[in-house]
């Protein structure tokens, strides 16, 4: 499935769905209000620094993509993304 034709809202919903599939865990950094460490879905030894839903140090974030799993995880935690499941193709 390509994500290029999806709207931003759809991309966030799609990413939020994958937060659970990939078991992305986020931990707030003490002393900050919006900085989190997010685990990598692909590399257990790696974590990313996420600032709100704005910045992430993963490849997508560095590359300028505004949507990634880590920021979606933060968005879910903060209640900024609906947890409604992304509509799956009927099995």
What does the binding site for Zn ion look like in residue numbers (CB under 5 A)? 56, 58, 61, 68, 70
Cβ proximity to Zn ion, 61 vs 75, nearer residue: 61
Cβ proximity to Zn ion, 19 vs 56, nearer residue: 56
Nearest distance from residue 25's CB to Zn ion, in Å? Answer: 13
For 31, the token pair is 């002393």
Cβ proximity to Zn ion, 6 vs 37, nearer residue: 37
Nearest distance from residue 65's CB to Zn ion, in Å? Answer: 8
Nearest distance from residue 91's CB to Zn ion, in Å? Answer: 29
């Amino acid at each position: 499935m390509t994500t290029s034709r999806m709207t931003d809202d759809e991309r966030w919903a799609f990413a939020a769905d994958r937060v659970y599939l990939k078991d992305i865990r986020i931990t707030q950094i003490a002393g900050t209000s919006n900085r989190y460490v997010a685990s990598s879905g692909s590399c257990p030894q790696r974590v990313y620094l996420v600032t709100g839903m704005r910045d992430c140090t993963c490849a997508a974030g560095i590359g300028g993509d505004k949507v990634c799993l880590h920021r979606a995880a933060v968005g879910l935690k903060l209640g900024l993304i609906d947890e409604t499941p992304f509509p799956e193709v009927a099995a």
